[in-house]
């Protein structure tokens, strides 16, 4: 091998070891500086030499730095899908939040309206159940918009009933004609039927609320039976107000009262059986275990029967009023409606007096 060949080989061997030698120089420079900051000129020179060597070795192939830059700037489908999912989740979250805020605002407006109605009723001296003897331990149905709407409607119903009672009393004292009196009786009957329809709708919202009678005053609840008055007992109370009765009328009223008692007993027995069945369903598995979802699902299905009991009880009350209107003359029916309305008025007044009675300080 001649001298020129020897020099060429030596030169090629040295160029092959230059990257390693250069890395060694960087390491010594980092060690000497005591940190990871090298001088800018040294790094630039080293990058230039490495790029030139990479171009010679790859023969036109792109260097690592350029390749990595392209991969870094190329968005992947997975990242785009995740970003799209995040945007969709955020959009749905905003919609749910907006709907929730709107629902809260609607409930707030209904509560404000209900409070205003109750305040006006108190100022007029009306005895509305939820505004009299509010028990802090009792059920407050105003948190449910459907129940709050029923309480408002019932307040208006009581106000209208008070007006009808005044009109009936005035009409009976004025000895108006039977035709005019018939119109007042029909309107009074329809007013009670409207209450039964209101209760049927409210029972679908919260049957426990309707059955407990919490929309009434405490004295009315004392005589309550499946969310209202017991027809047979009411006939017993009102019968003396209807005298004198003809013999046939007396027999018909007695027969009606007996039929009411039989229907009431059947409904009460059905309620007792339903209560026992519910208790057995809830306690089907040993108590103390956390997993009782199946029992609750079965109990929920059985509770649907409570709405039917409320409707049947109100149907019995409606039939009793209709039968009495057929048995009595129009003037007796007017006296009966007047006595019925005054009876409930006195119960509400009794509740008011009981609530505001003087109490001894202990």
Tens of pLDDT, residues 179-205: 999 999 999 999 999 999 999 999 999
Instruction: Give the pLDDT confidence score for residue 30 in this predicted structure.
Output: 37
Instruction: Give the pLDDT confidence score for residue 56 in this predicted structure.
Output: 46
Region 250-273: mean pLDDT is 95
Among residues of the chain, what percentage have pLDDT more than 90? 41
Q: Among the listed ranges 148-157, 287-296, 303-312, 339-348, which one has the minimum average pLDDT value?
A: 287-296
pTM above 0.85, yes or no: no
Please report which confidence band the pLDDT of residue 304 belongs to, taking 50, 70 and 90 as the band edges: confident
Higher pLDDT, 184 or 2: 184
Please report which confidence band the pLDDT of residue 283 belongs to, taking 50, 70 and 90 as the band edges: confident
| SS3 labels along the chain | CCHHHHHHHHHHHHHHHHHHHHHHHHHHHHHHHCCCCCCHHHHHHHHHHHHHHHHHHHCCCCCHHHHHHHHHHCCCHHHHHHHHHHHHHHHHHHHHHHHHHHHHHHHHHHHHHHHHHHHHHHHCCCCCHHHHCCCCCCCCHHHCHHHHHHHHHHHHHHHHHHHHHHHHHHHHHHCCCHHHHHHHHHHHHHHHHHHHHHHHHHHHHCHHHHHHCCCCCHHHHHCCCCCCCCHHHHHHHHHHHHCCCCHHHHHHHHHHHHHHHHHHHHHHHHHHHHHHHHHHHHCCCCCCCCCCHHHHHHHHHHHHHHHHHHHHHHHHHHHHHHHHHHHCCHHHHHHHHHHHHHHHHHHHHHHHHHHCCCCCCC
Higher pLDDT, 125 or 219: 219
Region 238-253: mean pLDDT is 91
Please report which confidence band the pLDDT of residue 221 belongs to, taking 50, 70 and 90 as the band edges: very high
Answer whether residue 308 shows pLDDT above 60: yes
Mean pLDDT, rounded, of the chain: 76
Answer whether residue 237 shows pLDDT above 60: yes
Please report which confidence band the pLDDT of residue 84 belongs to, taking 50, 70 and 90 as the band edges: confident
Region 212-218: mean pLDDT is 89
């Amino acid at each position: 091998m001649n001298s020129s060949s020897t020099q060429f080989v030596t030169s090629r061997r040295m160029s092959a070891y230059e990257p390693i030698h250069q890395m060694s120089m960087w390491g010594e420079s980092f060690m000497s500086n005591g940190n990871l900051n090298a001088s800018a000129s040294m790094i630039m020179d080293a990058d230039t030499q490495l790029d030139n060597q990479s171009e010679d070795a790859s023969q036109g192939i792109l260097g690592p730095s350029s390749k990595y830059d392209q991969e870094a700037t190329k968005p992947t489908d997975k990242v785009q899908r995740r970003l799209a999912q995040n945007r969709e989740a955020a959009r749905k979250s905003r919609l749910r939040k907006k709907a929730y805020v709107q629902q809260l605002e609607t409930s707030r407006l209904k509560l404000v309206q209900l409070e205003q109605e109750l305040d006006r009723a108190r100022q007029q001296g009306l005895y509305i159940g939820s505004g009299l003897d509010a028990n802090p331990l009792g059920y407050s149905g105003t948190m449910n918009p459907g129940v709050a709407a029923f309480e408002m409607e019932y307040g208006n119903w009581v106000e209208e009933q008070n007006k009808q009672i005044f009109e009936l009393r005035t009409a009976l004292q004025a000895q108006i004609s039977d035709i005019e009196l018939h119109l007042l009786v029909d309107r009074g009957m329809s007013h009670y039927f409207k209450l039964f329809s209101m209760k049927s709708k409210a029972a679908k919202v919260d049957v426990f609320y309707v059955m407990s009678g919490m929309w009434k005053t405490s004295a009315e609840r004392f005589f309550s039976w499946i969310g209202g008055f017991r027809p047979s007992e009411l006939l017993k109370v009102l019968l003396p107000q209807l005298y004198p009765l003809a013999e046939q009328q007396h027999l018909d009223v007695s027969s009606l009262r007996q039929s009411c008692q039989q229907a009431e007993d059947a409904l009460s027995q059905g309620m007792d059986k339903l209560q026992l069945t519910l208790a057995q369903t809830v306690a089907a598995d040993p108590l103390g275990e956390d997993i009782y979802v199946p029992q609750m699902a079965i109990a929920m299905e059985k509770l649907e029967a409570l709405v039917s009991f409320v409707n049947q009880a109100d149907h019995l009350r409606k039939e009793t009023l209709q039968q009495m209107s057929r048995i009595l003359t129009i003037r007796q029916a007017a006296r009966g409606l007047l006595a019925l309305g005054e009876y409930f008025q006195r119960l509400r007044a009794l509740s008011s007096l009981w609530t505001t009675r003087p109490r001894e300080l202990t």
